[in-house]
Amino acid sequence: MTSSSSLDRRKSFQSIILTLQQYWADQGCVILQPYDMEVGAGTFHPATTLRSLGPDDVWNAAYVQPSRRPSDGRFGDNPNRLQHYYQFQVIMKPSPANSQDLYLGSLKAIGLDPMNHDIRFVEDDWESPTLGAAGLGWEVWCDGMEVSQFTYFQQVGGIDCDPVPVELTYGLERLVMFIQGVDNVYDLDWDGVPKDQGGKVYGDIFHGAEVDYSHHNFDRANTAMLFQHFQDAEKECASLLGADHPLPLPAYDQCMKASHIFNLLDARGVISVAERQGYIGRVRALAKGCCEAWVAQGKTKNHPDQKDLANG
């Protein structure tokens, strides 16, 4: 038996995450853990969606967010597409004047020295119809590969952001594939441990899940139940927002739930083209309600964070 991995351990999937976390911690970010619900992207985490608005004058945070896009499942057969993947998300409010330099510093930290590559900021405006959110920015290219999205949020939940946050999103699989020079996501070295010593590649950990979840997303998920759950989430969200004492955070959980259920129903192919816009509008209405309640709460003494500050 020979040692099959000659990978520099700093290039392993988990090391890249650790390095990014350390880098952004050094820049003064709150390092959070993933939100404990199914979401389509790191943006959905309340640390981004809600904290882009509301009472914090300064909010800097970074976290990994597992993200699910049910219709991107390929039964483990496609080397580039996954229904479950990881984003590394940074949100800084207000956007610092040196945002781009900070970002380039993070690339250098993970071994992509901008002096050894061709880095470009290419126009790409971002919009999330379900979150009622939009921003201007770029996709960042490294030697032709899109490695990040860089967005100055202008609006979230239909509300203008003031101050303006900047959001940096790294698609971790794609980024690390680039760093490791790997063409198939399932070949990504996860831990930098040689295979003969029990080291794991991405496929060892996730291939089975991709196969099972593809069956679930496309064929097995119970659509009648999902339709019901969508309605329940919608109702619960409204109810949590409607009372004398609105609870935007729990209400927003229901909004995320509704959004994920919609994505599942979409993957199951039971939502027609004509109905699609309607569902997106319903989720947006929930997001908008939550954001408005969050902002309103921030202006009163009822806001949990404000209370803590007052008591502390």
Nearer of residues 163 and 250 to other proteins, judged by Cβ: 163
Q: Is 136 in the site for other proteins (CB under 8 A)?
A: yes
Nearer of residues 147 and 264 to other proteins, judged by Cβ: 147
Nearer of residues 44 and 126 to other proteins, judged by Cβ: 126
CB of 309 to other proteins, least distance (A): 21
Scored b (16 or more CB within 10 A) or e, 20-51 reads bbebbeeeebeebebbeebbbbbbbbbbbbbb
In Å, what is the CA distance from 165 to each residue of 30, 79, 137, 152, 294? 15, 34, 12, 6, 17
CB of 60 to other proteins, least distance (A): 13
CB of 193 to other proteins, least distance (A): 25
Q: Is 209 in the site for other proteins (CB under 8 A)?
A: no
Q: Choose the binding region for other proteins from 12-20, 91-99, 204-212, 239-247 (rule: CB under 8 A).
A: 91-99
- Alpha helix (H) residue ranges in 7-88: 13-26, 46-49
Q: Is 274 in the site for other proteins (CB under 8 A)?
A: yes
Residues near 197 by Cβ (< 8 Å), separated by ≥ 6? Answer: 3
- Determine which residue in the list 1, 2, 6, 144 makes contact with other proteins, applying CB under 8 A: 144
- Determine which residue in the list 125, 196, 219, 305 makes contact with other proteins, applying CB under 8 A: 125
CB of 161 to other proteins, least distance (A): 8
Supply 229's token pair.
């759950």
In Å, what is the CA distance from 11 to each residue of 23, 55, 169, 191, 201? 15, 38, 19, 9, 13
Q: Are 255 and 290 in contact (CB under 8 A)?
A: yes
- Determine which residue in the list 79, 208, 242, 281 makes contact with other proteins, applying CB under 8 A: 79
CB of 74 to other proteins, least distance (A): 10
- Determine which residue in the list 73, 132, 135, 199 makes contact with other proteins, applying CB under 8 A: 135
Scored b (16 or more CB within 10 A) or e, 219-229 reads eebeeeebeeb
- Determine which residue in the list 1, 224, 243, 273 makes contact with other proteins, applying CB under 8 A: 273
Residues near 235 by Cβ (< 8 Å), separated by ≥ 6? Answer: none
Q: Is 118 in the site for other proteins (CB under 8 A)?
A: yes
Peptide bond into 94 cis (omega under 30): yes
Note the residues at the interface with other proteins (CB under 8 A).
78-80, 94-97, 99-100, 114-123, 125, 135-138, 142-145, 152, 154, 162-164, 166, 178, 181, 183, 272-274
